[in-house]
Amino acid sequence: MKRTLPALALLLAASILTACGDGVKARLGNAEAQYNLGMRYHAGIEEDQDYATAVTWLEKAAEQGHAGAQHTLAGLYARGLGVPQDYRAAARWYTQAAEQDIAAAQYAVARMLAQGQGVAQDLAQAANWYKKAATQGLADAQYELADLYYRGQGVPQIYGQAAHWYTKAANQGHPGTQNNLAVIYYKGLGMPQDYQQALYWFKRSATAGDPEAQHNLGTLYLNGHGVEKDARQAAQWFTKAAQQGLPKAQLQLGFLYRKGDGVPQEYKQAYIWFTIAAASGHPEASRYRDTTARHLTTAAVQQAQAEAATLYRSIAESTAAAQ
């Protein structure tokens, strides 16, 4: 059976496209090739990094409905790379990619809706998009959705749903989520109070370096909730959090030094940590600093003030470097 001329022409065109590089195929209108070429300019692979040229090719692919191009193009508009920064354009392209089930785009749309960036603020719609991304397993989306349920923003306040999504994100190693989940267990919000589960999740988050979790874990050890009371362990965790700049941990550490609970009783160290907590913004720390000063000589107070200033600067610098 003879092939018709149009069929032969299609076969010939297909073979030419296969043989050609992305550059030629892109110019012939192939969306995948346009996307690949745009990404090469975007990343500086085989081509000099050129965001403006990347935008040109990604836009061509995006206009043909290529989800990856739409998502990447949105990011360039959001950051103002290769084009003037334009949150409205970013939201438009993110939305088109999100509608094709790109989880990262769904998350990006949700954040823009939550913040009112490039679109009118709409927490209910933000929750809807967070849920789509969360259902696909995106830990950041699971965390944000859980937070909305925890606060009752855009969705009813349902602690059980908050715990559900916090757990999913926490199991993926999201440190902040682990701390929040532990708080739900510790306070018994929407579920029976469970100090053992609180201890488990606080410890995972604290070990990962979350200062809030380190403080909370210290509180469990100090009060003997879910674990044998151990002031020395409490002091160690409070110290870790205090050295990361957490004012309430700095205040708590001052109390331990003043009482000699889990650490040697040292009024000078107590004064130092109360001073740092006050400088960090804790509203009650200056009162405890001043009452502690009564146990020190004038010379000791002056020395403690100098040491506190040095330690405060060191903490501020290390905290800034970690961000």
Say which residues have a Cβ less than 8 Å from residue 298's Cβ, sequence separation at least 6: none
pLDDT in tens, 259-270: 999 999 999 999
Residue 102: DSSP 8-state: -
The whole-number pLDDT of residue 24 equals 85
Query: SS3 letters for 137-174?
Result: CCHHHHHHHHHHHHHCCCCCCCHHHHHHHHHHHHCCCC
Our CA angle for 245, 250, 252, nearest 5°, is 145
280 in helix, strand or coil? coil
pLDDT in tens, 77-86: 999 999 999 9
The whole-number pLDDT of residue 12 equals 43
For helices 211-223 and 175-187, angle between their N-to-C axes, nearest 10 degrees:
30
Average pLDDT over the chain, rounded to an integer: 92
Residue 247 clears pLDDT 90, i.e. is over it: yes
pLDDT in tens, 82-130: 999 999 999 999 999 999 999 999 999 999 999 999 999 999 999 999 9
Tokens of 310: 């040095």
Residue 288: its H or E element: helix 285-292
pLDDT in tens, 124-170: 999 999 999 999 999 999 999 999 999 999 999 999 999 999 999 99
Residue 6 clears pLDDT 80, i.e. is over it: no
Residue 294: DSSP 8-state: G
The whole-number pLDDT of residue 22 equals 75
The whole-number pLDDT of residue 18 equals 40
Alpha helices in 225-280 (DSSP H): 231-242, 247-259, 267-279
The whole-number pLDDT of residue 175 equals 72
Give the C-alpha separation, 306 to 174, whole Å.
38
Which domains does the chain show, CATH number per domain?
24-100 (1.25.40.10), 249-314 (no CATH)
pTM of the model: 0.80
